[in-house]
């Protein structure tokens, strides 16, 4: 697929606040992007028109029930069958922060046996309350998540987090077995790390929320649905990086650029 023909759909809801950063990142790479509010009924547009679907970060509906829960129910009601068909087609879906929470609530992540009718994991309250600052996450995938195929294993991305409910947890009675399953099926994509690239080992502030096994992002077994708590779209340009005022003129791009570049190149190859 030629990049100029690539179409990305970004959905938003009341409280979404990272949609414009995601749009700017994809458009800078040459993709065409539509932003649609999920309260609007699709008339002339449908999911089949798009090559990638992204649920951005924010605080949809004020997180008044659980983070992402209301937005998840709205999507299931309005576009549930279309969304399931989109996943079944193998087209990629990404959820960042609130979008990750939503994909977990809808049962698309972890998605051990496909789309689950109930959540199989949770993104619980942070052990240190609301966190809005810079962290580092390391790419630990082995190739299953094709969207991240442009990153080498061990690649570290520095970018912000901004959440109060991002602590990835699994059912306690199955925790170790399910963790092994994440590794066996190459679903472990990102983990929180220290400045030297070593795992945070639950230590704060490197692990900002107490996430089990320092998990920052996972994919489904097919590698086509990706969710992560940190915000690479907020680190796309060099002038957004925290050190640029100390190092002189910023580089053209920041740590978030390889993340989005890898996604766009994957769609070019795949479709």
The third-level CATH classification (topology) of the domain covering 3-270 is Rossmann fold (3.40.50)
Report the pLDDT value the prediction gives residue 145, as an integer from 0 to 100.
Answer: 98
Report the pLDDT value the prediction gives residue 43, as an integer from 0 to 100.
Answer: 63
Task: Determine whether 159 is an active site residue.
Answer: no
pTM of structure? 0.95
Contact 67, 165 (CB under 8 A): yes
Task: Determine whether 97 is an active site residue.
Answer: yes
Report the pLDDT value the prediction gives residue 41, as an integer from 0 to 100.
Answer: 59
The structural domains of the chain, with segments of one domain joined by +, span 3-270
In order along its 271 residues, the chain shows pLDDT tens digits of 889 899 999 999 999 999 999 999 999 999 999 999 877 756 666 899 999 999 999 999 988 888 899 999 999 988 999 999 999 999 999 999 999 999 999 999 999 999 999 999 999 999 999 999 999 999 999 999 999 999 999 999 999 999 999 999 999 999 999 999 999 999 999 999 999 999 999 999 999 999 999 999 999 999 999 999 999 999 999 999 998 887 766 678 999 999 999 999 999 999 8
Which residues, in sequence order, are CB contacts of 270 under 8 Å at separation 6+?
Answer: 1, 146
Catalytically annotated residue among 74, 165, 206, 233 = 233
CA 49 – CA 43 distance, rounded (Å): 12
CA 6 – CA 20 distance, rounded (Å): 18
CA 228 – CA 57 distance, rounded (Å): 10
Report the pLDDT value the prediction gives residue 42, as an integer from 0 to 100.
Answer: 66
Task: Determine whether 165 is an active site residue.
Answer: no
Catalytically annotated residue among 18, 75, 97, 219 = 97
CA 104 – CA 99 distance, rounded (Å): 9
Phi, psi dihedrals of residue 38, rounded to the nearest 5°: -70, -10
DSSP letters spanning 89-105: TT--EEEETHHHHHHHH
CA 212 – CA 229 distance, rounded (Å): 13
Catalytically annotated residue among 155, 163, 213, 231 = 231
Encode 29-56: b = buried (16+ Cβ within 10 Å), e = exposed: bebebebeebeeeeeeeebeebbbbbbb
Q: Which of 109, 141, 151, 99 is nearest to 266 (CA)?
A: 151
Q: In what order do the strands lie in the sheet with 188-192?
A: 32-37, 7-12, 52-55, 93-96, 225-228, 215-219, 188-192, 131-139, 156-163
CA 160 – CA 151 distance, rounded (Å): 19
Give the CA angle between residues 51, 75, 112 to the nearest 5°.
75
């Amino acid at each position: 697929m030629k990049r100029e023909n690539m179409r990305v759909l970004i959905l938003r809801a009341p409280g979404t606040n990272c949609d414009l950063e995601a749009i700017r990142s994809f458009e800078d790479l040459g993709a065409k992007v539509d932003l649609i509010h999920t309260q609007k009924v699709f008339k002339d547009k449908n999911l089949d028109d798009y090559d990638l679907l992204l649920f951005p970060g924010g605080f949809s509906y004020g997180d008044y029930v659980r983070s992402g829960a209301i937005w998840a129910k709205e999507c299931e009601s309005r576009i549930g069958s279309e969304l399931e068909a989109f996943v079944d087609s193998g087209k990629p879906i990404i959820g960042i922060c609130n979008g990750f929470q939503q994909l977990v609530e809808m049962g698309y992540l972890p998605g051990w046996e496909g789309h689950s009718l109930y959540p199989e994991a949770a993104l619980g309250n942070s052990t240190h309350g609301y966190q809005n600052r810079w962290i580092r996450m390391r790419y630990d995938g082995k190739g299953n998540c094709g969207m991240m195929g442009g990153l080498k294993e061990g690649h570290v991305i520095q970018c912000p987090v901004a959440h109060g409910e991002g602590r990835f947890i699994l059912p306690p009675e199955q925790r170790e077995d399910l963790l092994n399953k994440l590794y066996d099926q190459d679903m472990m994509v990102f983990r929180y790390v220290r400045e030297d690239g070593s795992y945070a080992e639950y230590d704060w502030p490197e692990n900002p929320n107490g996430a089990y096994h320092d998990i920052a992002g996972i994919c489904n077994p097919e590698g086509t649905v990706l969710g992560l708590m940190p915000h690479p779209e907020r680190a796309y340009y060099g002038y957004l990086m925290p050190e640029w005022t100390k190092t002189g003129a910023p580089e053209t791009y920041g740590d978030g650029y390889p993340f989005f570049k890898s996604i766009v190149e994957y769609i070019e190859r795949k479709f």
